[in-house]
Amino acid sequence: MMIEQPAFGRRLRRLRVQRGLSQSELAGDDVSASYVSRVESGGRSPNDLIASLFARRLEVPLETLTGPDSQESEDEHRSQRLDVASQLLTAGALRKDGELAEAAELLRRIVAAGAGHSEEDLLWEAAWVLGEVLRELGHIAEEHTVLTGLAETSLSQETPRLAARVATALSENLRHQGRLGEAVRVAEAAVSDIVTLPPTAHERVKAMLALLNSYADSGELENAARLADTLQEIAENVPSRQLRGQVYWAAGSTRFLCGLPQEAARLHEQAFVCLRPDVNLAAWARLCLTSAALRLEHDPSDDALESAEGLLARARQAIELVGRADDLADLMLAEAQLALRQGRPERVLDLTGRVCDGEAEVPLAKLGQCHLMSAKAHSLAGDTAAAQDSYRQAAEILERAGAYRKSSEAWRQLSELLTPGGPQ
């Protein structure tokens, strides 16, 4: 029997994908998944026994894999790849031009039409880009569905770098939903799976950043501080300027939470050097928001108040140009934090009310933060009953979200209000 490569491997891959089998499932206990991968790529020719084994598992005659490859089949395969690639280019152009909704719709059609096709690599890329576009649109629930599906593909399961990339994005998605405990677990798994990669490898740094942000949001500050130390040690060697900026951003935010505002502000300034507005205006605006809010909450100095006011003014200008509904919600929360520092409780209540009643779906952690600021505003205004009610709501919501540090703060301040002689 004559086995011709790469035709045999191409047919093997096409039939495997059509039947929804992973390379490990096709391999079984007889060969390895890496062997199947080499056969599919044309780098290895199986013997007659193994070829017959593959045919039985795919439930096709052996001749389907070994017969002469027709020009028609070759042309069909090439045409299929060119069609998917062309549509991906069109989606990329739409995304670059800011037509995100149109890009998302085209990518949805590519992914839906690709079920059972052999173009597994191109379809994986289409689903990945769809997830990115959905994130830019603020469609967090649909992004979660796409990422969950990607995690279950054979390409993700058999390629550690791709698996880590999907898990990292899924962790960030869960964090934005306020599902902080899940975000931590997914990010921890991603970091563990790629620990053999070089420390500055893109996938490894991104996974560590996702874990650091999840630790910080959930209140695991000791873990966050240790991971921030690790990332700071490699920051200057991270090749990507944008990724290096994200490292300084996350490390600086952690230092604020750990009570080191001067070091934190210095790290954020390094992040601003890397994340320039002319390169990525949306990311720069979010850095402005984050830095302003943390300065207001964790640095009581007048300099911090002045810096925060300037950062929020710049952030508002950028968000009015490129911001999403959830960016606007974050802006109003930061402005509420500013109003709280300025002793303007009515302004705080107006802004937090608009966030809760706005168009953007508010994640649990953010909703709890709204109630926490409302409670402080009520307390500042002397409305103890309303403050108690808001503190209780904040504590319960933040606890459900897994934001235990903030939840503890709310319970403590509620306890102080309920204690005779406590703050009024």
Half-sphere exposure of 350 (CA within 13 A, CB side): 7
pLDDT at 75: 61
Q: What is the pLDDT of residues 278-304, one digit of tens each?
A: 999 999 999 999 999 999 999 999 999
Contact 336, 371 (CB under 8 A): no
- Closest listed residue to residue 45, CA positions, set 8, 16, 73, 76: 8
Find the mean pLDDT for residues 216-231. 96
Residue pair 324/369 in contact by the 8 Å Cβ criterion: no
pLDDT at 237: 96
Q: pLDDT, tens digit, for every residue of 147-177?
A: 999 998 878 888 889 999 999 999 999 998 8
pLDDT (0 to 100) of residue 118? 55
Diameter of the chain measured on Cα atoms: 92
Q: Which of 303, 256, 300 is nearest to 287 (CA)?
A: 256
- In 3D, which of 281, 353, 361 has the Cα closest to residue 323? 281
Give the pTM.
Answer: 0.80
The yes-or-no verdict on residue 67 having pLDDT over 60 is yes
Among candidates 206, 210, 287, 204, which has minimal Cα distance to 253? 287
Q: For residue 114, is pLDDT > 60? A: yes
Do 23 and 37 meet the contact criterion of CB atoms below 8 Å apart? yes
Asked whether the predicted pLDDT for residue 68 surpasses 80, the reply is: no
Q: What is the pLDDT of residues 12-43, one digit of tens each?
A: 887 887 787 888 889 888 888 889 888 887 88
Provide the token pair at 392.
């209780």
CA angle (252, 253, 255) in 5-degree steps: 65
Torsion of CA 256, 258, 263, 266, to 10 degrees: -30
pLDDT score for 155: 83
Whole-number average pLDDT of the chain = 90
